[in-house]
Structure formats: C-alpha cells, structure tokens
Structure 1
C-alpha cells in the first residue's frame, strides 16, 4: 500500500509566522511591499475613471463601454502575451510594464490638470492600459516562482498576494472618495502614477538569478499552438482553467449588479452598495488568510470544486434574500468561495506547469479569469434587463454549482495525474511498504 508523505525537510512554522512565511524571501518581501502601495493607487484610479466618465457624459452606455474596452485587450492578447512571457526575461518585462502603467496614469493626470481631458482620450488610455495588463498579468504570475524558492511556499505567496489585492480593494475606494472631493479625479490619477515608483524601486532592489530563456527558432503562432496543446492536453490544467472560465463568466459579474440590489432590493444608497462590496472583500481576506496558513499545495485540488460550489450557493442564497444583514453575511461567504477557488487554481497551475511553458499556461489563466469579465458583465446586464437582477444571479449561481459537480466527478483522475508531478517536484514521497529486514 502506497503512503504519501510530505517531503522531509519542509520548514515548520506556526501561527502568524506560518501565514507570512513567504516574506522570509528577500525578493518576495520587496515585491510585497512595493505592490501593497501600488495596488492601493490602482484601486484609487479604478474608482476615479468611471466616476469621471459618468460626470462628463451622464451616459450609462459610455460608462459601460469604457469599462468593456479597457478589459477586452486582456481576452484578445493574453495568450500571445504568454508566449512573450516565456521568451523574454520576466524580471525585465515586469519592470517595463510597471513603468508603462505609471506613464499611463500620469498621462491621465496631465490631461486632467491641463483641462484637456475628454472621453475619447480616457477610452484610448484605458485600452492602452488593457494592453499593458494583458502582458503584465501572466508575467507577474509566472515571476512568483522566481521570487519564492520553495514550491511548498508558492501557495502561501499567492495567498498573500490575494490578501494584498483585497486589502487594497477595501482601502483604495475610501481614499479615492476623499481625493475626488478635494483634488478631483486628477488627484487620483496622480497618486496612482506616483505609487508605481514604489514597485519599480522594489523590483530594482531585487537580486534575481539569471533566467533560462526560450531560444527556440520558432514563430509566435507555433509557440502559441504549443502552449495551447500543452494547456488543454493535460487534464488537470484543462479542467482547472475551464472551471475558472465558467466561474468568471457566470458568477463574477455579480459585482456589476450590486448597485441594483443596493438601490432596488434593499432601498439603500451608495453606503449600502459599499457595505455589500466590502463584505465580499472581507470574505476574500478571510479565505486568503486560510490559504496562507496552509503548509503545502497538496490537497488544494479538493478545495477547488468545494469553493466553486460555495460561491454558487452563496450567489443563489443572496439573490433570494431581502434582509440586508443576512445579505451582507452571504456576501462574506460568497467572497470566501470566490477567492479560494481562484487562488487555489492559481497555485496548482503554477506548481505543475513546466517552467518553459508557465507563461503560456498563466496567460490562459488570465484569459479565463480576467478576459471573460467584459463578456460576463455584458451578459449579466442584458439578462438582468429581461429576468431581473435576482434571476440573473440565480442562473449564474446554478451554473457555478453545476461546474463544480462536473469537476468533482473528474477529481479522482485529476489527482491521479497530478501526483506524479508532485513527486517529481519533491513535494511528496511515494514509498512502498516493505517488510523490515531482520538479522539472520
């Protein structure tokens, strides 16, 4: 009978030290500090742009169109950006994308303070930022492996990243409200531009080992095909990405409909909307803390369908609730399910993907997670106009639960195929029981 044992030598931590153990790596510690400040600026700008567009135009259509246009490049370009991520030096590429993002924010600030800001240049700069994000996201995800030396700490680093992102999501909008009232939207753009200085400096201070680059004499399309075949030819990666795409398409757009629930269902105002969104963020933070406390990637494959089901059930229950307090609690649960599903998927993909194809695998992750967002938002808005916001969330939640069931049914095969990879990486030891030797 086979025994699956954690590899000897795993560093043991307890309590708070275990949750923050990835910070013992100098490069990741620098990255975490720089990104913590930069992400707050990013969320400040995310709030300011739609506010400015609606103030300038009063058009809900243009508000949605600018958001759609800014997200579409991620869907269209991410797979090809993954090829470049495997070809180029990820460290240098990440520095370039951060500098370009800083210039985009400063360009918005310059246009605002010179009274030249118009919807068309907001739209153009949003598309440019979308193109930058299409390259930045797979590069950033793949670069984690180069900062965290032990595969057993990779899940912890990804969970801390999620905590950082959701923490910024809670803090950023509050600061944006103060800045818009005092300095106008231009102040938000300027603060965001300045915030990138911290992440660029943190990257420059890192000591990165030379990266083996993909020097094959092949064109981008051939490498794209190779990445596609690898990603969707290996069943664990294929099912993880397909479930993530379903969750992102059918479940994630719940955020678009939150203003409808806040105003029409709970008869509240912007504060009600803020409570609901903050509750989702709190749930995500709780889930991220739990994932950060785990000592190994082993077992995450079982969490994925469970978390997806919790997310789907949470959406259905929320759509049926007319009590604000209960709905806030359900939003916490929904946020937990969402984060645990996406972060667990991220961790497993980065762990089992071959190093020379990791960028392409993570580009399909980006495409599934972020690239489907504009289509999901558009679909949710259209469906809500026909069957109402509650009916739309019920439909999306049921789809998420159905996807979780399909994944769970394939789970034994997924585990069977992923265990040899874990063994090759040294995450588990496969030992056959042998009779003890006796002295003769």
Structure 2
C-alpha cells in the first residue's frame, strides 16, 4: 500500500486515485488516519464496555428496571438537544482540540466514578449526574469525529474511511460488552471499571500523538446561535442533503429499537435465556461489521441510491421475518442479514451526505447525523409501548414494514433524491480536478445545491 506523503503543515498530499487503488484499505495509506482509526476504535470499545459496567452498577445499587431507563434517557436527551451546538463548535474550532477536550472530560468523569466506587461512596444519583455530563459531552465529540475524517483523508477516500470506521464501531459493539461482562465475573466490577477508564485515556493519547490539528478556526463573525441557525438554513435550502438526513433518520427511528427488544425475544418468545440473547446480539453486531466492510469495499462505485434503497427495503423485510420467525435457529441468520442491510444503508447514506456538503458546514451537518445515535434510544419508548400492548413480534414486524414503506415513499416521491447518483458523480469529478496541496482544500459548496433547490 502506498504511503501518503504529508506536507509541511502535517496534512496529507494525495495523488490521484486509479482503479487499482480502490480497494478495501485505501484510506489506511494515511498515517494520520491510521492513528485516528486506532483512537476511534479504542474509544468506542470503551463505550461498549461502559454500557455494561454502568448498567451493572445501576442495577446493583437500585434493583430497578426504571433506573436503567433513566440512565439511557439522561444520555439520549442531551445528545439530541445539544447536537447542533456541538456541530457549530466543530465548524468554529480546531476539531482535534475539540475531540481531545471532550475525551478528557470523559476520562475525568470515569475517574470520578472509579474513586466513588472504591471509597464505597457511590450512589445512583452520582451515576445519573455523570451520565448526564457524558451525554452533554458526546454531542461535541461526535460531530468533530465525523468531520475530521474528511480533513485527514479528503473526499476521494471518504467513503472508504467512514465505512472502515463503521466496521470498527460495530466490532466494538460485540467485543466491548462481551469483554466487560467477562471481566466483571473474573476480577470484579471495580478493576473492570478501572480498565475501561484506561481505554478512554488510551484513545485520547492516540489522538494527541498521531493526529495533527485539523484546521484553523473558521473566519466568521457569527455567534454560536447564529451559526446553529445557519446550519439549519443550509439543510433546509439544500434539499438533497435535507432529504438524505430524513431518509436516514426515520428508518433508524423505526428499525433500530428492535435491539432493545432482543431480550424479550430471547427470554419470552424462544425461551433461550441469557445465552440466546448473547447469540442474537453477537449476530446483530457481526452483521454490522460485514455490512460496513462491504461498503468500504464498494468505495465510490456507482449506483449508490439503488443500493441504499434495496438495503433499506431488505432490512425491513428481514426484520419482519425475524419478528415472526417460529424458530430461534432461523431467527439468528435473519437478524444477522438484517443487520448487514441496515448498516450498508446507514453507511452509504452518511457518506453520501459527507461527500456532498462543503467543509464550512461539515460539523453542523454531522451533528444532525448524530441524531442516529440518540433517536433509536428515544424510539425504544413507543415501540416498547406497542410491544407491551400487542407483543414484541407484532411491534417489531409493524415497525419494520413502516420503515420499508417510508424508504420506498421517499424514493418514489422525490425527484431530488433520485438525482443523488448524478450529484455524487459531479462531486467526484470536482474532487479529481481540484489540486491537492492538502486535503483540506476540498471542493467548495457541493454541486448538489443548484439541482437540490428545484424540487422535493
């Protein structure tokens, strides 16, 4: 693999891509991206472990299922509400510094829990407050994390880089919780929490060592709220970007809550207990890895919208079959295949948005994408309420059908959405024609804008 040379300011100098270079790990040619990839992977591994460790502590302290729900809510609500501010910050300040500051706050939060745990002073309200703090910090970390990828690898390698990141995230969804559960049983919750806090610190160290400052602060006299408003106006004005955001978020709201109901299927429907839940969770996570790797392998291949639509519909149909499956053995490959499909759809949708948008609003638009993290947590409530009334199989089956119909309706009713492949081809051509003294010299506002304004 050819190494990407770096200019004096530390940014990658990319040579034009040929057909032979469009391969699975092409973005790994950038040394900075390799460090960023390591930092991201360790960070999300710690997040996966933290979910199990925090849930264990909450239930051990309270014995209450409601307390578990409250912990999820105090993380999800700030993520949803504060995201636009985090996006504005990612467009105003140095993105590496913003990520580092957020991760340092996470490390301090975890150390505080660790100290309280070892001194015997930990109470539920401590966990609630610190979870709320982390839910308020994540909206500043996540948009900057997404936006900095384009700074490091450029538009031409962006699809590959984001797909590899997604593959790593889905891998950590399997390994993080599994490792945390094993460590709790082997060495106890205190040492396990200490190891997890160390992972957060290692992620921060990898970022500081290997990734240079990504961009200078944007030259703008606008205040924070004015920049947030500017981001909303951009999404409304550029109809293609706005449609892709809705096209991506609505099915996630309807489909992804099924993961929270896997315990119901394992315990009540197929009576397989904790082992069955572990198998279903692992199959779902493995499917996510496979789907993201497939998108990385596709690279900038054409027909993106067709693949997005087919994978969205396939996910709905596969989850419908999973929900009504008469057999656990049949359900496992169905949930695996559904997870492959939803991750192909999500990765292609997210990278299409990142390719289309100009760098000046990348952080703010990335903050809207971050809703895909919080909406499934909020979507659990209505889907669970329906499941309480009519049963989990009917609730998941109904939501899956609605998600598939929503995707088809978007495609059928919007000429702007159907122009996606043409707009991406124009962006790719502009990227190829742009001199690349540094990858941050990306093409200006996406060429999707003129056509995007003409229709819905």
Structure 1 length normalisation: TM-score?
Answer: 0.90
Residues 1:121 and 2:158 aligned together: no
Q: Deviations over 1:38-81 (max 9, x none)?
A: 32222111111112211221111111111111111111100121
- The Cα shift of 1:219 comes to 2.2
Correspondence 1:282 to 2:286: yes
Aligned CA distance change for structure 1 residues 347 and 327 (closer, same or farther; 3 Å): same
Does the 8 Å CA contact 2:251/2:404 hold for their aligned counterparts? no
Using the TM superposition, name which of 289-298 and 209-218 deviates more. 209-218
Q: Partners in 2 of 1:23 and 1:175 — Cα distance?
A: 27
Q: Which residue of 2 aligns with 1:436?
A: none
Match of 1:72 among 60, 64, 77: 77
Pair 366,400 (structure 1): closer, same or farther in 2 beyond 3 Å: same
Contact 1:78 1:366 in 2 (8 A): yes
Q: Say whether 1:390 aligns with 2:397.
A: no
Moved more, 172-181 or 199-208: 199-208
Q: CA–CA distance in 2 between the matches of 1:297 and 1:86?
A: 29
Structure 1: distance between partners of 2:57 and 2:358 = 44
Change (3 A) 1:169 1:219: same
Corresponding position: 1:56 with 2:78: no
| 1:33 match | 38
CA deviation profile, 1:93-124 (whole Å, cap 9, x unmatched)? 01111111111222221111111111110111
Counterpart residue number, 2:379: 376
1:297 Cα deviation after fit? 6.0
Report the more deviating stretch, 405-414 or 157-166: 405-414
Shift of 1:429: 8.4
How many residue pairs align between the two structures? 419
Shift of 1:22: 1.0
Superposition pairs for residues 40-439 of structure 1, below 5 Å? 40-149=45-154, 151-206=155-210, 208=212, 211-296=215-300, 298-367=302-371, 369-410=372-413, 412-416=415-419, 419-420=422-423, 422-426=425-429
2: CA distance, partners of 1:95 / 1:410 = 43
1:200–1:387 Cα change, 3 Å = same
Segment of structure 1 superposing worse, 71-80 or 169-178: 169-178
Alpha-carbon distance in 2 for matches of 1:181, 1:424: 51
CA contact (8 A) 1:43 1:173 kept: yes
Q: Tell me the distance in 1 between the aligned counterparts of 2:213 and 2:254.
A: 41
Deviations 1:161-186 (A, max 9, x none): 11111111111122112211133322
Q: Structure 1: which 5+ residue stretches go unaligned?
A: 1-7, 431-440
**Structure 2 CA distance for aligned equivalents of residues 426 and 403 of structure 1:** 31
Counterpart in the other structure of 1:437: none
Give, in angstroms, the shift of residue 424 of structure 1: 4.8
Separation of aligned partners in 1, 2:43 and 2:139: 18
> Taking structure 1 as reference, are residues 49 and 37 closer, same or farther at Cα in structure 2, changes over 3 Å only?
same
1:354 to partner: Cα distance: 1.2
Q: Tell me how far 1:191 sits from its aligned partner.
A: 1.3
Structure 2: how far apart are the matches of 1:19 and 1:341?
18
- The answer to whether the Cα contact below 8 Å between 1:308 and 1:341 also exists between their aligned partners in 2 is yes
Question: Structure 1 pair 425/209, CA: closer, same or farther in 2 (3 Å)?
Answer: farther
* Unmatched runs of 5 consecutive residues or more in structure 2: 1-14, 434-456
What is the match of residue 9 of structure 2? none
| Contact 2:96–2:211, Cα closer than 8 Å, also in 1 | no
Change in CA separation of 1:91 and 1:298 when aligned onto 2, cut-off 3 Å:
farther
The alpha-carbon deviation at position 213 of structure 1 amounts to: 2.7
Give the whole-Å Cα distance in 1 for the aligned partners of 2:389 and 2:258. 16
Who is 2:11 aligned against?
none
Query: In structure 2, do the counterparts of structure 1 residues 351 and 410 end up closer, same or farther at CA, with 3 Å as the change threshold?
Result: farther
- Give the CA deviation at 1:427: 5.5
Shift of 1:245: 1.9
Are the structure 2 counterparts of residues 374 and 171 from structure 1 closer, same or farther at C-alpha, using a change threshold of 3 Å?
A: closer
Deviation digits for residues 218-261 of structure 1, max 9, x if unmatched? Answer: 22222222111111322221121112221222111001111000
Q: 1: CA distance between counterparts of 2:102 and 2:51?
A: 18
**Whole-angstrom CA distance in 2 between matches of 1:399 and 1:13:** 41
Normalising by structure 2, report the TM-score.
Answer: 0.87
Structure 1 residue 209, shift from structure 2 partner: 6.1
